């Protein structure tokens, strides 16, 4: 009787482990290929609209209502995560420009849908994470 109970416990544990592993590793992975290059736009938290032109190595953002332009170097870390480093800014006072050049942003795609994706963005070593929806212009 005790051996039977032990077998049932072992079998139950194995099923739990296999089920847990399948739930972690069996999830569909995100397909971010359509968002690595192209034209996109988003609405920032402070309003207006930002248009993005992304190549393999650069991301250029234009703030329509303020005539500002930000140029980032982009480094893809994996299929759906990338870092942006601000290398140039136009339409800002020199003091502000000096202050923000070199800003690093880490972006991670968390959801992909037809025509848009959602990302989590953090700045440098900051633990603050913001979410943003970016729409494709295709």
pLDDT in tens, 67-119: 899 999 999 999 999 999 999 999 999 999 999 999 999 999 999 998 999 99
Say if 4 falls within a structural domain. Answer: no
Say if 22 falls within a structural domain. Answer: no
pTM of the model: 0.76
* Continuous H helices in 2-106: 2-25, 94-100
Q: Report the CATH number at residue 100.
A: 2.40.128
At 38, list the tokens: 């192209």
| Residue range of the domain that includes 52 | 33-136
Say if 16 falls within a structural domain. Answer: no
Domain total in the chain: 1
d(CA 44, CA 42): 6
**Mean pLDDT score, 20-46:** 74
d(CA 116, CA 68): 24
Say if 20 falls within a structural domain. Answer: no
At 93, list the tokens: 């006072």
C-alpha dist (Å) from residue 97 to 89, 94, 105:
6, 5, 16
| 78 vs 64 pLDDT, higher one | 78
């Amino acid at each position: 009787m005790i051996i039977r109970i032990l077998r049932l416990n072992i079998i139950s544990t194995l099923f739990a482990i296999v089920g847990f592993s399948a739930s972690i590793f069996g999830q569909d992975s995100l397909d971010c290929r359509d968002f690595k290059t192209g034209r996109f736009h988003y609405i920032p938290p402070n309003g207006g609209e930002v248009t993005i032109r992304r190549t393999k190595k650069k991301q250029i953002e234009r703030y329509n209502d303020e005539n500002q332009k930000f140029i980032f170097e982009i480094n893809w870390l994996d299929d759906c995560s990338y870092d942006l480093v601000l290398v140039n800014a136009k339409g800002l006072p020199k003091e502000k420009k000096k202050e923000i050049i070199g800003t690093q942003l880490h972006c991670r795609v968390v959801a992909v849908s037809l025509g848009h994706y959602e990302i989590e963005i953090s700045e440098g070593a900051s633990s603050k994470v913001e979410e943003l929806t970016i729409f494709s212009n295709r």
